[in-house]
């Protein structure tokens, strides 16, 4: 088993504690199988045991195999640059490149009031900025919109958004999943400026609604206003049919009487809808705002 930030932390805890008992089927146990000749292994109980002398031998062997500097350091809260200073494998860091940074933009391109550096440059239309969370002035954010797809994020200046969202800050959700930096930003805004609207802009389909509902602290989402012709021309029924697990989630957790989003769930199911963000923007569909709950 490969070395990782959590393995390093677990080994450090083992070596510094008075205990020497490790479960064989745990991640630490699987890692230490390569060192089982230094321990007493009890297959019946499913554990390996290290006494003080065996721990010392284990530590010596780990130093030889992986270098000395990495041990005794809690790398779970270190960046890759931090770990690169003490080890050849910078990817042992627990803090990845996306954990402290976000990709942001505004429709006007002017971010000067949102950055502690006071940057005065107005970004060209369609341009975004990757910046550290520590650079953002959280309390100056009037509205934050999380955008699911990168293509839609890049072209958000073309979106037919409600007028009240013109001053919003847009943040990219992350490739195929919620990036840690975006999650941290949502948490920071909620903690420091709880009245700031947090909004999701996703595909209008079961997966998109599930994303909107599971983003931390999001209370509103953006959806397209469709006429019957557009609903037929722009819809991808095949994609909808591949999203049965998301629809099951929506029906189980959010299809309750009185729940605002229930009407959208019913519409998706009835029309087998899957309208992608890119089509909303390309066809200039009017975009509406709805409460989540």
Q: DSSP secondary structure string, 224-247? A: E---HHHHHHS--HHHHHT-HHHH
> How are strands ordered across the β-sheet holding 129-132?
129-132, 101-106, 169-172, 144-147, 198-201, 220-224, 287-291
Average pLDDT over residues 126-138: 93
Is 68 in the same domain as 114? no
pLDDT band at 189 (very low <50, low <70, confident <90, very high): very high
pLDDT score at 203: 97
Chain centre to alpha carbon of residue 248: 22
Is 78 in the same domain as 151? no
> Which residue among 92, 126, 159 closes a domain?
92
* Tokens of residue 50, six digits: 């290290």
* Distance between CA atoms of residues 16 and 10, nearest Å: 10
pLDDT(36) > 80 = yes
Q: Which residues pair with 95 in a beta bridge?
A: 79
> Which residue among 92, 120, 152 closes a domain?
92
Is 42 in the same domain as 170? no
Average pLDDT over residues 81-102: 89
Is 242 in the same domain as 110? yes
* Average pLDDT score, the chain: 92
Q: How far apart are the first and last CA of the chain?
A: 44
Q: Residues 6 or more apart from 205 whose CB is under 8 A from it?
A: 239, 240, 243, 246, 268, 273, 274, 275, 276
Considering only 119-123, 182-186, 208-212, which range has the smallest mean pLDDT? 119-123
pLDDT score at 175: 84
pTM equals 0.82
Contact of 162 with 188, CB cutoff 8 Å = no
Is 34 in the same domain as 141? no
Is 119 in the same domain as 233? yes
pLDDT band at 126 (very low <50, low <70, confident <90, very high): confident
Is 142 in the same domain as 261? yes
Average pLDDT over residues 164-178: 91
Residue 221 CA neighbour count, 13 Å, CB half: 25
Contact of 3 with 31, CB cutoff 8 Å = yes
* Distance between CA atoms of residues 169 and 3, nearest Å: 39
Contact of 159 with 279, CB cutoff 8 Å = no
pLDDT(34) > 90 = yes
Q: Residues 6 or more apart from 181 whose CB is under 8 A from it?
A: 98, 99, 100, 101, 102, 133, 174
Is 268 in the same domain as 153? yes
Is 55 in the same domain as 138? no
> Which residue among 70, 92, 114 closes a domain?
92
Q: How many domains does the chain have?
A: 2
Is 84 in the same domain as 107? no
Average pLDDT over residues 200-205: 97
pLDDT(76) > 90 = no
pLDDT score at 232: 77
pLDDT score at 68: 87
* Distance between CA atoms of residues 272 and 65, nearest Å: 56
Average pLDDT over residues 48-76: 91
Contact of 35 with 55, CB cutoff 8 Å = no
pLDDT score at 7: 93
pLDDT(88) > 90 = no
Q: Which residues pair with 264 in a beta bridge?
A: none
Show the domain range for 114: 101-291
Is 87 in the same domain as 27? yes
**For 232-273, how does the pLDDT look when each residue is reduced to its tens digit (9 = 90+)?**
789 999 999 999 999 999 988 776 766 788 889 999 999 999
pLDDT band at 177 (very low <50, low <70, confident <90, very high): confident
Is 77 in the same domain as 156? no
* Tokens of residue 256, six digits: 């309750």
Angle at CA 181, nearest 5°, toward 286 and 224?
10
pLDDT score at 176: 77
* Distance between CA atoms of residues 129 and 115, nearest Å: 11
pLDDT band at 1 (very low <50, low <70, confident <90, very high): confident
Q: What is the CATH number of the domain that holds 230?
A: 3.40.1360.10
């Amino acid at each position: 088993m490969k070395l990782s930030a959590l393995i390093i932390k677990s080994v450090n805890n083992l070596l510094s504690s008075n205990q020497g008992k490790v479960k064989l089927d745990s991640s630490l146990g699987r890692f230490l199988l390569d060192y089982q000749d230094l321990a007493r292994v009890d297959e019946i109980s499913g554990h390996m045991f290290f006494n003080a002398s065996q721990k010392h031998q284990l530590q010596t062997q780990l130093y030889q195999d992986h270098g000395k500097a990495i041990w005794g350091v809690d790398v779970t809260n270190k960046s890759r640059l931090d770990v690169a200073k003490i080890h050849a494998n910078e990817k042992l860091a627990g803090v990845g490149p996306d954990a402290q940074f976000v990709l942001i933009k505004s429709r006007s391109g002017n971010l000067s009031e949102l950055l502690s550096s006071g940057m005065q440059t107005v970004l060209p239309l369609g341009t975004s900025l990757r910046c550290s969370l520590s650079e953002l002035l959280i309390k100056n954010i009037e509205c934050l919109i999380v955008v699911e797809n990168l293509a839609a994020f890049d072209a958000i200046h073309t979106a037919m958004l409600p007028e009240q969202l013109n001053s919003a800050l847009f943040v990219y959700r992350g490739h195929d999943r919620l990036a840690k930096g975006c999650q941290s930003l949502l948490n920071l805004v909620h903690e420091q400026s709880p009245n700031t609207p947090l909004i999701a802009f996703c595909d209008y389909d079961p997966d998109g609604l599930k994303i909107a509902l599971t983003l931390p602290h999001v209370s509103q989402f953006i959806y397209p206003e469709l006429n019957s012709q557009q609903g037929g021309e722009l819809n991808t029924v095949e994609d909808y049919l591949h999203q049965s697990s998301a629809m099951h989630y929506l029906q189980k957790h959010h299809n309750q009487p009185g729940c605002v989003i229930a009407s959208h769930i019913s519409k998706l199911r009835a029309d087998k809808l899957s309208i992608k963000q890119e089509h909303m923007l390309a066809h200039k569909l009017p975009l509406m705002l709805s409460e989540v709950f």
